[in-house]
Amino acid sequence: MDMNKIRADFPILSREVYGKPLVYLDNGATVQKPKCMVDAMADEYFTVNANVHRGVHYLSQQATELHEAARMTVCNHINAASINEVIFTKGTTESINLVAFSFGEAFLSQGDEVIISEMEHHSNIVPWQLLAERKGIVLKVVPITDSGELCMDSYKEMLSSKTKLVSITHVSNVLGTVNPVKDIIKAAHDLDIPVLLDGAQSVPHMKVDVQDLDVDFYVFSAHKAYGPTGLGVLYGKEKWLDRMPPYQGGGEMIKSVSFEKTTFNELPFKFEAGTPDFVGTTGFAAALDYMNAIGMHEIEAHERELTIYAMNQLAQVEDIRFFGVAENKTSVISFLVGDIHHFDMGTLLDRLGIAVRTGHHCAQPLMNRLGIEGTVRASFGMYNTKEEVDILVKGIDRVKSMF
């Protein structure tokens, strides 16, 4: 990978904060944007902009073509079998809420069980709790080991005829653990149980092939994968989506409406009520093209190497404690140093130009499991370098010397 060229594609990386070069290590929260992605959106606004799907005029048809071409780009990127299986949403959170609501309506009733894990983001916990309140389903939680890996034996023991869905993260946004998703899916499928994977932290970092995984639902956010904010994807196997009721009502998702009876549009539009973010989808397609031009395997290899380098360098900081030391780990490192509060560490690193995240990372149950309130989290994108890791380590040493 030509790091100089890649970094030059992201204009924000050359700015300074507090007179220091920006070292952006908060990629788990959102990544910076390549110029080509923003250009694609600006171009569409300035030359094509018109509402999609309903217009007979030239611009509307062109905008529709761009929007549907973007769906095809997403479809190819994750190797979905058909564009009918690619639903555009507002993000990972909305995608999970959609499944909780709609799959919940169609397939879940009192006493049924949904399996999640101790390392889930709140977006893969709360929608199921809301469903539990509405429908009386039971949430089962797979525990994790001290190194931050799923206890696969406990998981397998939890699976039963009562289990109606498994919903687990592919990569933890706190621990960086890459879960053994093929084993998770195989064990569930042996009992005909469908699986949802939260791909928010995997799609930006590795090649994801939904058919190879044989996963039933796969969800992710564009803004974490070099695309725009406010856009995400729900991949779902057609056999499930076909049998699930609409999530929201409105324009686009109907075939015909009368006060007596409304019929619904076919997939994928059945789940896309209202005007979609048709400019955002063009931007996301440009971002995916950009990632593919660099190569998903190259991005993954670079980030894995960087993660190992960072773990080794950080390990030399006296009194550092890591949270998440799984063997299969990528791009996310959570830690605490001595008794320095994570918030103090984050604030002081910020003054040195280093952006990290502090707090519970929307994973309070995981913090409880770890017996802490929060961590400092450094998370990498494709443009981060070993030099930036060195600056982080020096920065931590400097902060330490202040205490």
Active site residues: 362
Task: Please identify which residue in the block is written with the tokens 């190819």.
Answer: 76
Q: Kindly tell me which of 302 and 377 has the beta carbon lying closer to ligand PMP.
A: 377
Work out the angle at residue 203's Cα, subtended by the Cα atoms of residues 201 and 206, and round it to the nearest 5 degrees: 100
Q: Is 23 helix (H, G, I), strand (E, B) or coil?
A: strand
Q: How far is the CB of 261 from ligand PMP (least distance, A)?
A: 34
Is the separation of the CB atoms in 202 and 150 below 8 Å?
Answer: no
Round to whole Å and give the CA distance between 274 and 193.
32
Q: Which is nearer to ligand PMP, 124 or 384 (CB)?
A: 124
* Minimum CB distance to ligand PMP, residue 185 (Å): 17
Cβ nearer to ligand PMP, comparing 221 with 265: 221
Smallest separation (angstroms) from ligand PMP to the CB of 148 = 14
Task: Give every CB contact of residue 170 below 8 A, 6+ residues apart in sequence.
Answer: 178, 179, 181, 197, 198, 199, 201, 202, 208
Looking only at Cα atoms, what is the longest distance across the chain? 73
CA distance 179 to 149: 7
Distance CA 281, CA 186 (A): 32
Count CB atoms within 10 A of the CB of residue 357: 22
Least distance in Å: CB of 91 to ligand PMP? 3
Rounded to a whole number of angstroms, the minimum distance from the CB of residue 218 to ligand PMP is 12
Three-state DSSP state, 195? strand
Q: Report the nearest approach of ligand PMP to the CB of residue 162 (Å).
A: 25
296 vs 344: CA distance, rounded Å: 36
Q: What is the dihedral of CA 336, 321, 362, 154, to 10 degrees?
A: -170
Based on DSSP, count helices (H) and strands (E) in the chain, helices before strands.
14, 17
By C-beta, is 169 or 265 nearer to ligand PMP?
A: 169
Contact footprint for ligand PMP (CB under 6 A)? 28, 91-93, 121, 123-124, 169, 173, 198, 200-201, 221, 362
- Residue 250 in tokens: 């409105």
